[in-house]
Chains A and B, each alone.
Chain A
Amino acid sequence: MNLVYGLVSAMLVGATPILLAALGGTFTFYAGMFNIAMEGMMLVGAFCAVLGSFFLHSWVLGILCAIGGALVMAGIFVLFAVFLHTDEFLTGIALNLFAVGLTTFLLRDIFHVKGAFTDAGIRAIPALKLPLIDSIPVLGRLLSGYNLVVYVAVAGTLVAAFVIFRTRFGLRLRGAGYNAACLNSSGVQSSAVRIWSLVICGVYCGLAGAYLSLGSVRLFAENMSAGRGWISLAAVILVSGNPWGIGVISLLFGFFDGLTVFLQGSRIPTQFTAMIPYVATLVSLYFYSIRKGKRT
């Protein structure tokens, strides 16, 4: 039974950053943008979270800084991709590398360390015990006591599904992706909708980054997003942006990510267990492509 608890917990921990980043990506996906900058936004978010938490002595301000940092990245994306009409794909690649360079540069410039920064002064985001569920025997242990951001991610999924499918903004968002010219001619600027979708993406990715550096650990390491932004992009493409699908597929990736942690003590070399999430992405892409091939 302990094994089940451990796996469920590892799954949720692994799923949370991917879920948050993918939810951000789905807004831009519906708005018809090829946004691959989630990786960079997440990384900058993770760095700013540590920055805020360390210097302002508060995890709340840490999260706010993370969101702010990710929003700056989103702002650069808007400036280049929307206003200057630079190719979205190129902007995304440049932004991701910019994020890697910027965070390692600032890591040395501000904290004077190479590789990773950790300090007792960094306040972590606390875990949350759900009031009623916590006292139920099995369910309580399965569902309660996780990091606050895990619950925010669950709520974020509901919000994303509601906003995209049930609100006027969601309709315009999908319109911008489906037929931008049509949306423009009905009096709504599709570029404005796209800017908003990027802002939302920035908020989600900032949260994902804050979770990476202030969630289960309290440190920032160079390139600590480690391809999670790319995996979240794959998740968005695999389910064509549907938030519920993203929830399911993030849990799946979280499971494999958790498996990685779980198998660390076993005889399989860690280098192979570390490959699991990426191979899992390839396998799910395989099933997706086969199914799509049959449909057409």
Chain B
Amino acid sequence: MRKQLLSGVFGVLAALTIGALVLLFQGFNPMATYAALLQYSLFTTSGFTATLTRAVPLILTGLSASIAFASGPVNLGQPGQLIMGALAATLVGLFVHLPSALLVLLCIIASLAGGALWSGLAALLKRLFAMDEFIVTLMLNFVADYFSLWVITYPLFDTSASSPMTRPINMAAWLPDAAGVNESVLFMVLAAAICWLIMTKARSGYEWRMTGQNSLFARIGGCKVDANYVRVMLVTGALAGLAGGLMVMGGPHRFVKGLGANYAWDGIMIAVVANNGISGTFLYGLLFSMLQQGAIGMELVTAVPSEFIDVLQAIIVLVVVAARVSLNVVFGRLATRRKLRETAE
């Protein structure tokens, strides 16, 4: 854990330095840029709450990827699962009329089911025909993307709108702001806590992690590897779907074109950089959210294009992961040397 923290801090600082060099090279002032970034993401009330709200899809898709990668299945379908979850929540929000508390609950269940349906399809193809979920989930992303675009362009198109989007969902399903923070943050924290409990305290989480590390060992040890595979796929799909549902209910209150944007891919990066740990995913999710939120202010103040943050994120991922591996090598050498000295004495 301490090693993780060390490589994380070192890696992020190194990445920020590289980013500063890039800025300097482009003729911008790095210090002013980073100051604006922090100012607009953490040190204004509206910026801070926006950072928290933005973290919802990032952390949820990050958790989805983390749990999947840690447990074996290479589920890269978070973008598609997020879209299907958002679509399911929109459908319920549009056509079901219930009191607020019930409708919110139903929308959330729908978003979970929508995401799980999409990842379940990949799991089914794997179990029936041994089709590699890595490619299947990737291709299903594109299918989901075009499918949702069709849904919002034709059957559910809001005729008063100029670009493809649905009508707003029922007011009863809107998630309000509580003390400036959107309620979707509460659901996200709840989901993250449940994930943490499952992965670190429950038997199923232990089985999943063992399967991820050594599938043969887990099977001989008595885990039902195949059933666990399907469960992991369903759970991770549901998490990504929840991200989509909460985005609709907390944000634009309708399914607009390009809703998912890059959130799910960022989530996958967050899982990668956090080494598939739950708490790490949570922290890096907040960091990425802070960067993305600050990017808007940064563009206003310093004329650095906000897309710079996409570059910075990828640099952070590469440098942190490389730092982790390199530190492990260094620590390994130190340990060997210590052992050698002990045996020599």
Contacts and interface: CB of A to CB of B under 8 A. Distances in A.
A105 B317 contact: no
Given A90-B272, A94-B269, A269-B154, A275 B129 contact: no
B326 A281 contact: no
B158 interface: no
Contact of A94 (B74, B136, B307, B318): B318
B132 interface: yes
Interface stretch (A1-9, A197-205, A284-292): A284-292
B177 to A, nearest CB: 30
B146 A274 contact: yes
B253 to A, nearest CB: 23
Contacts of A182: none
Nearest to A272: B150
B206 interface: no
B321 A87 contact: yes
B321 A271 contact: no
Interface in B288-340: 305, 307-311, 313-315, 317-318, 321-322, 325-326, 329
Contact of B325 (A84, A230, A237, A274): A84
A104 B306 CA distance: 10
Question: Which interface residue of A87, A90, A290, A292 has the most chain B CB atoms within 10 A?
Answer: A90
B129 A289 contact: yes
Interface residue range, chain B: 35 or more
Contacts of A93: 268-269, 272
B187 interface: no
Contact of B307 (A85, A105, A233): A105
A98 interface: yes
Contacts of A119: none
A96 to B, nearest CB: 8
Interface residues of A, number: 42
A279 B143 contact: yes
A269 B136 contact: no
B35 interface: no
B43 interface: no
A227 B321 CA distance: 25
Given A104-B310, A269-B154, A274-B146, A237 B135 contact: yes
A86 B131 contact: no
Given A91-B318, A98-B318, A105 B131 contact: no
A278 B310 contact: no
B78 to A, nearest CB: 12
A151 interface: no
Contact of B131 (A89, A107, A271, A286): A286
**Most A CB atoms within 10 A — which of B132, B146, B154?**
B146
Given A91-B318, A105-B308, A290-B129, A271 B149 contact: yes
Given A285-B136, A290-B129, A269 B150 contact: yes
Given A86-B318, A237-B132, A289-B129, A105 B311 contact: yes
Majority SS of interface residues in chain A?
helix
B153 interface: yes
B130 A101 contact: no
B315 A230 contact: no
Contacts of B96: none
A143 interface: no
Contacts of B311: 98, 101-102, 105
B34 interface: no
B154 A275 contact: no
A105 B321 contact: no
B142 interface: yes
Contact of B318 (A80, A105, A285): A80
A4 B74 CA distance: 41
A293 B126 CA distance: 12
Interface in A176-202: none
Interface of A: 76, 80, 84-87, 89-91, 93-95, 97-98, 100-102, 104-105, 107-109, 227, 230, 233-234, 237, 269, 271-272, 274-275, 278-279, 281-282, 285-286, 289-290, 292-293
Interface of B: 26, 74, 125, 129-132, 135-136, 138-140, 142-143, 146-147, 149-150, 153-154, 262, 265-266, 268-269, 272, 305, 307-311, 313-315, 317-318, 321-322, 325-326, 329
Which 3 pairs of residues, A with B, have the shortest CB-CB distance? A101-B310, A98-B314, A271-B150
